[in-house]
């Protein structure tokens, strides 16, 4: 810097401050506590020695610290990845076993609760105007797939229910066998709802009134070659019901344990 001044003169203190600003920050901090009136040549020599010492010691120390941290971090990442891989491998057989078990349960449940005939054909037989698939109701055949009592009952009731349904083989309709019902009833068709019978009002178990719409004569075939002709009351119910009047008239006994009807006079079961 002195060679750049040439023959020009500048105050030593100002020159010292300008020169100090050009030095590295760590050297500035050391020289700042010194005497500004000291010989500038001596201060420059001290600055050179400080710079040489700091250049030899600081960079290697800094590099070693960063490298060590990176190496440690990489080792920790490798350990975590290895543990995660071990946990994943141990969990796979367990999860696969649970998935297979759940799939078997769902398949068994579907087989147990899915009816062979849809709700509409169970309720209305060949008069049904809608159909829900899968449904095995065959309108053009006199033979219909028979639904087991257990399957018919679990379609609406829980598996442990004592209630059961019996199927008319002619129409495929399902009838709930209810010994608590005094009369046998069937749900109305839309056109029958216009013919309300005010003289006959039924009473439900919850004390509510049930409207009636006259009577409908049905001929039912429950198998074993027996045919049952009966006048059912048309009422506001959700399903056809065989009541105690039907059972008494045809001498039918209810075997709720085996979900069947027994002909008392012929000792045959349905």
What are the sequence ranges of the domains in the chain? 2-105, 119-269
Hey, which of 15-19, 96-100, 109-113, 119-123 has the most confident mean pLDDT? 15-19
Rounded distance between C-alpha atoms, residue 194 and residue 28, angstroms: 108
Are 225 and 263 spatial neighbours (Cβ–Cβ below 8 Å)? Answer: no
Q: Which burial class, exposed, middle or buried, applies to 74 when counting CB atoms under 10 A from its CB (0-12, 13-18, 19+)?
A: exposed
Q: Among all chains, which residue has been given the structure tokens 């009833």?
A: 185
Residue 144's CB is within 10 A of a number of other CB atoms, namely: 23
- In this structure, what token pair is assigned to residue 207? 């004390």
- In this structure, what token pair is assigned to residue 31? 């020289």
pLDDT for the residue 204: 82
pLDDT for the residue 268: 60
Q: Which burial class, exposed, middle or buried, applies to 26 when counting CB atoms under 10 A from its CB (0-12, 13-18, 19+)?
A: exposed
- In angstroms, the first-to-last Cα distance of the chain is 122
At 153, is the pLDDT very low, low, confident or very high (cuts 50, 70, 90)? Answer: very low
HSE, side-chain direction, 13 A CA sphere, residue 94:
5
- In this structure, what token pair is assigned to residue 118? 């849809």
Please tell me which residue, 74 or 31, carries the higher pLDDT value. 74
Cα 86 off chain centre by: 29
Whether the pLDDT of residue 5 is over 60: the answer is yes
At 109, is the pLDDT very low, low, confident or very high (cuts 50, 70, 90)? Answer: very low
* 235-to-184, 209, 222 alpha-carbon distances in Å: 10, 10, 22
pLDDT (tens digit, 9 = 90+) per residue, 6-53? 667 677 777 777 777 777 777 777 776 666 666 777 777 787 777 777
- In this structure, what token pair is assigned to residue 192? 């029958």
Are 233 and 192 spatial neighbours (Cβ–Cβ below 8 Å)? Answer: no
Q: Which burial class, exposed, middle or buried, applies to 242 when counting CB atoms under 10 A from its CB (0-12, 13-18, 19+)?
A: buried
At 110, is the pLDDT very low, low, confident or very high (cuts 50, 70, 90)? Answer: very low
* 62-to-57, 71, 188, 213 alpha-carbon distances in Å: 9, 14, 93, 99
Count of residues making up the chain: 270
Rounded distance between C-alpha atoms, residue 162 and residue 158, angstroms: 9
Cα 63 off chain centre by: 55
Can you tell me the mean pLDDT for 113-127?
62
Contacts of 194 (CB under 8 A, 6+ apart): 213
Domain 119-269 CATH (choose: 3.40.50.300, 3.90.870.10, 2.40.70.10, 1.10.357.10): 2.40.70.10
């Amino acid at each position: 810097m002195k060679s750049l001044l040439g023959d020009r003169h500048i105050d030593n203190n100002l020159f010292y401050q300008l020169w100090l600003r050009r030095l590295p920050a760590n050297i500035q901090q050391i020289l700042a506590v010194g005497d500004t009136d000291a010989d500038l040549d001596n201060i420059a020599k001290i600055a050179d020695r400080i710079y040489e010492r700091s250049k030899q010691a600081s960079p290697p120390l800094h590099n070693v610290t960063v490298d060590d941290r990176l190496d440690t971090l990489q080792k920790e990442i490798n350990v975590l990845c290895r543990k995660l891989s071990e946990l994943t491998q141990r969990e796979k057989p367990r999860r696969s076993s649970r998935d297979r078990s759940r799939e078997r349960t769902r398949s068994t449940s579907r087989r147990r609760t899915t009816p062979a005939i849809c709700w509409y054909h169970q309720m209305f037989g060949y008069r049904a105007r809608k159909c829900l698939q899968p449904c095995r109701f065959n309108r053009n055949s006199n033979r219909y797939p028979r639904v087991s009592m257990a399957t018919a009952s679990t379609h609406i009731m829980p598996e442990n229910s004592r209630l059961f349904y019996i199927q008319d083989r002619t129409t495929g309709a399902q009838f709930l066998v209810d010994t608590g019902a005094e009369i046998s009833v069937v749900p109305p068709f839309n056109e029958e709802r216009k013919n309300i019978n005010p003289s006959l009002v039924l009473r439900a178990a919850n004390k509510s009134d049930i409207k009636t719409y006259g009577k409908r004569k049905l001929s039912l075939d429950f198998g074993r070659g027996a045919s049952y002709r009966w006048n059912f009351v048309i009422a506001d119910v959700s399903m056809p019901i065989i009541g105690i009047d039907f059972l008494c008239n045809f001498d039918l006994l209810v075997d709720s344990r085996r979900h069947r009807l027994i002909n008392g006079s012929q000792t045959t079961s349905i």
